[in-house]
Amino acid sequence: MSNEALHPEQSAISHDAFSSDGHGPRARVGVVMSHGFTGSPHGLRDWATHLADAGFTVRMPLLPGHGTTWQDMSTRSWQEWYQAYEASYQELVPLCDTIVTAGLSMGGCLALRLAALKPVAGTVVVNPGLVIDDWRAPLSGLLKHLVKSTPSIANDILKPGVDEGAYTRTPTASVHELHKLFANTRELLPRISTPVHLFRSRTDHIVGDSSVRALQNGLRDGLLDIEWLENSLHVATVDNDAPLIFDGSVRFIDSLGARR
């Protein structure tokens, strides 16, 4: 067992996937969710539980290479991350009349990519990444052979005492995969034809405004709605504004039925 597996900050954290079948009038509305880069479902579990309690059918996978060790993650491709997310979408297809994609950070990128490629009613994203604001990102394909990992990007959270359960190191090879995923998804944004609701933190030390601009420039006019979060940092799903995200996403998903 690796030293990271024994790290005390991980001991009380569950990285398990989340699955809940719906109930009531929202049961035939599915939400497929994704956690972020180096994170796990732990960072979105309260959000997923809120949606499930509201009656939606919810699926959230643990992406390959996540919830294990950063060394494991360094062997995985971005295609594996997306395929795991799409597989959860496919689980919802026979169960639901309507499917919404959702995600945090890299998970938001996956949600947007799926919305560009599959029939969905809409997308909810929290601080989604589409651009890496680091001049070294394009060089990560070379750097991965020289530097195996860099310091963690985890826990950009304003609320005290909260741990999102992400890795304590960031694998350089995975940054290279992330860079490719972002570039691929930016090219697909014009294909999205359904509404996108963006929850955006005013202050975010992980995903910069260049990702927001890429989303605004890539989507068709009138599809993007932005709701600003004033009291949270990047991992807003476990930060002070989490209730705004939880309630706002329910309202947005409900509104999609009215729009149809």
* CATH code for position 178: 3.40.50.1820
3 in any annotated domain: no
Residue list, annotated binding site: 37, 106
Marked catalytic residue, from 50, 149, 204, 211:
204
- β-bridge mates for residue 123, sequence order: 101, 196
In the prediction, which pLDDT does 136 show? 59
Give start and end residues of each alpha helix (H) in 18-105.
45-53, 70-73, 78-92
pLDDT band at 147 (very low <50, low <70, confident <90, very high): low
Q: Residues of the chain with pLDDT > 90: what percent?
A: 81
Residue list, annotated binding site for substrate: 37, 106
9 in any annotated domain: no
Question: How many domains, in total, are found in the chain?
Answer: 1
Higher per-residue pLDDT: 241 or 5: 241
Closest CA to 55 of 24, 98, 13: 24
1 in any annotated domain: no
41 in any annotated domain: yes
Q: Are strands 196-201 and 169-171 parallel, antiparallel or unpaired?
A: unpaired
Q: Are strands 29-34 and 169-171 parallel, antiparallel or unpaired?
A: unpaired
In the prediction, which pLDDT does 133 show? 74
34 in active site: no
pLDDT band at 153 (very low <50, low <70, confident <90, very high): confident
Q: Which domain holds residue 23?
A: 16-258
Cβ(60)–Cβ(39) under 8 Å?
A: no
* The token pair that represents 224 in the structure block: 């993007």
pTM as predicted? 0.91
198 in any annotated domain: yes
15 in active site: no
183 in any annotated domain: yes
pLDDT band at 259 (very low <50, low <70, confident <90, very high): low
> Cα–Cα distances in Å, from 50 out to 36, 45, 58, 78, 145?
19, 8, 10, 28, 42
The rounded distance, in Å, linking the Cα atoms of 175 and 138 is 9
Give the pLDDT mean for 2-21: 64
Q: What is the mean pLDDT of the chain?
A: 90
Closest CA to 223 of 200, 193, 253: 193
Give the pLDDT mean for 167-180: 92
In the prediction, which pLDDT does 152 show? 82
Marked catalytic residue, from 105, 149, 201, 211:
105
Marked catalytic residue, from 42, 66, 234, 241:
234
105 in active site: yes
